[in-house]
Amino acid sequence: MATVTIRDLLIEYSSGGYAVRPIDGLDLDVGDGELVLLLGASGCGKTTLLSALAAILTPARGSINVDGTEVTSLSGVALTEYRRHQVGVVFQAFNLIGALTAAENVALPMLGAGVKRRTAIDRANTLLERVNLGDRADHHPGDLSGGQQQRVAIARALALEPPLLLADEPTAHLDYIQVEGVLRLLRSLASEGRTIVVATHDERLLPLADRVVELSPHAHETVGTRTVTLTDGEALFRQGDEGDFVYVVESGAIALTRECDDSTSELITTIAPGRYFGELAPLFGLRRSATARASGNTTVSGYSASEFRSMVGHDKLSQLIGEGVGTGSQRSVHQLS
């Protein structure tokens, strides 16, 4: 069993030269023996969070504490020991080694930890029996179905009896029959008292969980309009914020900038009066992909996603989105408002 405490976690990485923060300011507590689902759409940071829990990815800020071990400060031998004994990982793509048999794949963490080969293979066979694959011990991954490979991957994750088990999209490559077997297995492992964190976007797994953590930004159903007055340089919203309103510049100007991975900012465009910006985040429930700052004293009007839709009309919406920020269409939006 393991307790997991995450505080003020910020994970940042570089993508195409820009700084991306899939996790920003996350707090999370997972108790002993809990089965927690990290739910959210692709790109919301589920796998990133699992990587950090597995001590594979180092966060930019915050702490991850597993049973008293501060994971973010581990290095060298301590890091290797943590990966071996504290946490087991079931990867989305199974990631079994093709050259090894099922038993050898399961024995791999033990061999890496210095367990003698005979002992490791015996224990691997026991684990394969436990996941109902005792008769497939000598098969190579290529000879196993997706569900069987996933069960071998789970057996491998359990090889050194880690108290914390992480599973990344465990049902992603499985048909519904195979999903059933994997779900039963995960539930039974949790029932034994093991702490399990599962990242998924598959809502069929909801009944499995003791707790569900929603990682997608909440699409706040904002209503009405708002008018905001900004002084020069003041931020309207920042990159990574949740999307709320679609804005139209009434007077002054808005500079849209994107944070680069070298801590500098890059100006994307400047929005002049009568033009709209920031529509994708509220419409699609995404985080802001840029920072908006006033250039001079500026006034903007904010419209909720539903109001923006009704102003534009469903037919024109996809066309406007395709045209992007700063096209002539925004004047009509302004006129509609």
Residues that bind other proteins (CB under 8 A): 47, 50-51, 54, 56-57, 80-85, 88-89, 91-93, 95, 97-100, 104, 108-109, 111-113, 117, 156-157, 160, 168-169, 172-173
Name the residue nearer to other proteins (CB basis): 139 or 334: 139
Query: Minimum distance from CB of 160 to other proteins (Å)?
Result: 8
Name the residue nearer to other proteins (CB basis): 116 or 184: 116
Strands 195-200 and 35-39: parallel
What are the beta bridge partners of residue 168?
199
Query: Minimum distance from CB of 9 to other proteins (Å)?
Result: 16
Query: Minimum distance from CB of 152 to other proteins (Å)?
Result: 13
Name the residue nearer to other proteins (CB basis): 47 or 195: 47
What are the beta bridge partners of residue 276?
248
Query: Minimum distance from CB of 155 to other proteins (Å)?
Result: 12
Rounded to 10 degrees, what is the CA torsion of 278, 230, 296, 333? 40
Name the residue nearer to other proteins (CB basis): 81 or 234: 81
Query: Minimum distance from CB of 162 to other proteins (Å)?
Result: 9
Query: Minimum distance from CB of 106 to other proteins (Å)?
Result: 11
Name the residue nearer to other proteins (CB basis): 50 or 255: 50
